[in-house]
Structures are given as structure tokens and as C-alpha cells.
Amino acid sequence: MSDAVTNQLDRFVHPLADVATKIIGKDTRVWQFVVILDGAKIGSECNVCAHVLIEGDVILGDRVTVKSGVQLPNGVRVENDVFIGPNVTFTNDKFPRSKQYPDKIPQTILRSGASIGGGAIILPGIIIGEAAMVGAGAVVTRSVPDRAIVVGNPARIVGYVGMNDERSIGLPKISKARKVQGKTLMFRDANENDAAFILKLRTDSQKSRYLSSTDADLEKQKAWLNHYAEQNDQAYFIIETLAGEPIGTVRLYDAQADSFCWGSWIMKEGAPQTAAIESALMVYAYAIDHLKFMAAHFDVRKGNESVWRFHERFGAQKVNSTELDYLYTIDFNTIKEAHKKYRKFLPETILVLE
Ligand SMILES: CC(C)(COP(=O)(O)OP(=O)(O)OC[C@H]1O[C@@H](n2cnc3c(N)ncnc32)[C@H](O)[C@@H]1OP(=O)(O)O)[C@@H](O)C(=O)NCCC(=O)NCCS
């Protein structure tokens, strides 16, 4: 127990706590049998309840509540206003063996305003998004998007928390948008007037090598687009420059639980060099940040090497293959990492016109 901390008037450390860190913010309270190792940083106005262990490489923001019986191992980062329920278990070694230590400890990040229900278990390297709610007893194996409510083992999204904490239970759905604006590109909802452009792209001898075959009939293409206009489970976008020149297509479809599929991703010859990366980032920003999906799945023709290499550089995991295709998935965490890595290609937030 450190007297230097205990005796400061503007914070309270119970005499039965063992606190080695000197970094504890104003008006924080630390109760009986709490152990905090040297190096840990604890913000102000926190409440650390009895029987909590906080290791040295842990950061807690301001106004954080840590209920009894919680251990926060190295690598945990907790932002402001987070609630950690009783007996929540954090893990920091995915494949533990006694006396063998991971080379690098993954960070577990709890974004501001998140709450973790009692007895939940958080696997290593997970990000719990802003204001997300993890149900009591959940086993969280994948990162949780902002404002998502997850329950169960493995934890799945069952709804979202609104801005005023009102809940809406239900899985994410793919919906159309009139426009989605990125940095130099715009997605525009496809309509029957795009039939000729789409047909030209899809029947181009080079481009069509890796596509499912398309009938070269303009009327059929128009009919398909009219049928599409009545559907509400997919979004087919024309990719345009901000000047309104169409340069490609992309489609979001086949929602499965919290994962969406994307494809029909074609760019015309002569499109700007950065259009591929920017449009991929826009697809993910729209699906993850706006529609609240948590992951994506898609397939790529084995022969379409430049495209599967692109997805692999982006962080997608090859999970299976068929005679023709490689099947990929990509999770929330990896998508967020990619957004960070390629942030110069997108504005702070994409603009969505519904
Ligand atoms: C996740 C949670 C916030 C959902 O609350 P809610 O929106 O009021 O949800 P409801 O009670 O209406 O339940 C909705 C459905 O989810 C299920 N459900 C709720 N919480 C669940 C949980 N933790 N695990 C699994 N399923 C859960 C319910 O059984 C119900 O299913 P049903 O429709 O098939 O009957 C809440 O149940 C919870 O776990 N809160 C954390 C409590 C806690 O640990 N507090 C900290 C200590 S004080």
C-alpha cells in the first residue's frame, strides 16, 4: 500500500488495499483487498470495488466502475465512463500454456461508455465499441461494434442501443442508400438507366472472366434492375467520381446474422488508381459504421489473383475454397485496423443519404 496515494485528501484508498501505482486520479475510490500494481494508470472519479486486481500495464479512464472480483491483466485499456460488472474475466493469452508466455500481449480495448454485464468473459485482443452493452455471462469472441448489444456464448449481436440508451433488438439489415459519399468517390443506388453501363462492364471480355455470366440483353438487365428496386435486402451501387462519371459497380447482399457479403465489384478500364481501395473502404464504412454489421464474407475467383491479393493485404482470412473460388471472411477488428491504415483515402465519416 502506498502512503503517497492513500493520504491524498481528494481520493480514497482503503487501508486494506495494496496499491503500488502513483497514478490515481482525483476523487477515485479504491476499496478493501484491491491490488493495483506499479505502472497502472487510474483516472479520476473511478470506483474500484473490493477484490479487484489491476496489473501494471493497464489504463483506466475517468468515471470507470470496476465491480468486485474483476482482474484486469496487462494490455487492458479502458476509456471513460465504462462499467465492468462483477466477476468479469479478461484474458490476454489466446492459447495459454503454463510457464510459456506470449511474445506480445494483445490489447483489449473498452471504448467509452461501454458496459460489461456480470460474469462475462472477454477473449484477448477484443475491442468493445462505444456505448456497447455486453450481456451478463456472455463469452465475447469477436469485437463488438459501437452501441451493439451482445449476449450468449459465443456472444452475438441481438440489438443496438440508441442515442438516449433506448434499445432496439434485431440484427443488422442491408438497406439501400440513395448516395454514399467518400473522399473522391460517390456510391449511387443503381436504377434501370444504368442498365447499359452495367452491361458494358459485365460483358467486357477482360472483366467478365471472373464474373458469373451475364446475358447481353439490355431489356433483361433493365428488368433485373427494376426487380432489384423492389427488394430490400441488398444494395447495388454505381461507383462514380464526385463529378458524376460512372466508373464501376459494387453490391452488398446475403446478410447472414451479423455478417454481410459483397461483390459485383467491377471497375472500368482507366478508373483512378485509388478507386479500388477507396471503394472497398466505403463498402466497409457503410456496412459496419452505418448498417452496424460486424463482419463480412465473400468469395473471389481463384484466377482473379490481383483481387484476392488485394483482400488479403486488407486483412481478409481465407476460410475455405471450392473448385472455382476462394472463400474469405473479415472481422470488425481487422476492418477497423484497415480503416486506420488507409485513413488517407476516406473522410472522417462517410456521408450517407438514405
Ligand atoms: C443484455 C441485457 C442488457 C438485455 O436487456 P433487455 O434489453 O432488457 O433484454 P430482455 O430482458 O428484454 O431480453 C431480451 C431477450 O434476450 C435474452 N437475454 C437477455 N439477457 C441475456 C443474457 N445476458 N444472456 C443471454 N440471453 C439474454 C432474454 O432471455 C430475452 O430472450 P427471449 O426474447 O428469447 O425471451 C441484459 O439482459 C443484461 O444481461 N444486462 C446485464 C446485467 C448485469 O450484469 N449487470 C451488472 C451487475 S449489477
Q: Per-domain residue ranges for the chain?
A: 3-168, 179-353
Residue 168: predicted pLDDT: 66
Per-residue pLDDT at 208: 73
149: CA distance to ligand 1 center in Å?
9
The reply to whether ligand 1 has any atom less than 6 angstroms from the CB of 172 is: no
Distance 153 CA to ligand 1 centre (A): 13
Class of domain 179-353: alpha beta
Which residue has the least CA distance to atom 36 on ligand 1? 135
Please give the distance, rounded to the nearest whole angstrom, from the Cα atom of residue 135 to the centre of ligand 1. 6
Give CA–CA dist 59/23, Å, rounded.
Answer: 10
Q: Determine if ligand 1 sits within 6 Å of the CB of residue 139.
A: no
Alpha carbon nearest to ligand 1 atom 44, residue: 117
pLDDT at 8: 60
Length of the chain (residues): 354
**Ligand 1 and 267: CB distance under 6 A:** no
**Cell numbers 463488438 correspond to what residue?**
144
The pLDDT, as a whole number, for residue 258 is 80
Tell me how far apart the alpha carbons of residues 332 and 67 are, in angstroms, rounded to a whole number.
28
Residue-level pLDDT at 162: 66
Q: Do the strands 351-353 and 179-181 form a parallel or antiparallel pair, or are they unpaired?
A: antiparallel
Q: What is the largest CA-CA distance in the chain?
A: 82
In the chain, which residues have pLDDT < 70? 1-9, 162-170
Whole-structure pTM value = 0.64
Kindly state if the Cβ of 135 falls inside 6 Å of ligand 1: yes
What is the whole-number distance in angstroms between the Cα of residue 152 and the centre of ligand 1?
9
154 C-alpha vs ligand 1 centroid, how far in Å? 15
> From the CB of 137, is ligand 1 less than 6 Å away?
yes
CA of 280 to the centre of ligand 1 (A): 35
* CA-to-CA separations, 116 to 89, 126, 145, 204, 321, in angstroms, rounded: 10, 13, 14, 52, 37
* Cβ of 263 below 6 Å from ligand 1: no
How remote is the CA of residue 333 from the centroid of ligand 1, in Å?
25
183-215 burial, b at 16+ Cβ within 10 Å, e below that, comes to: eebbbbbbeeebbebbbebbeeeebeebbeeee
| Ligand 1 contacts CB of residue 118 (under 6 A) | yes
**pLDDT for res 9:** 61
pLDDT of 1: 43
The preferred substitution site among 84, 144, 151 for testing ligand 1, maximizing ligand atoms within 8 Å of CB, is 151
Residue 116 near ligand 1, beta carbon < 6 Å: no
**CA gap 284, 289 in Å, rounded:** 8
**pLDDT (0 to 100) of residue 102:** 87
pLDDT at 255: 94
Q: Give pLDDT, residue 163.
A: 61
Residue 320: per-residue pLDDT: 96
User: Which amino acid residue places its CA nearest to atom 4 of ligand 1?
Assistant: 135
CATH topology of domain 3-168: UDP N-Acetylglucosamine Acyltransferase; domain 1 (2.160.10)
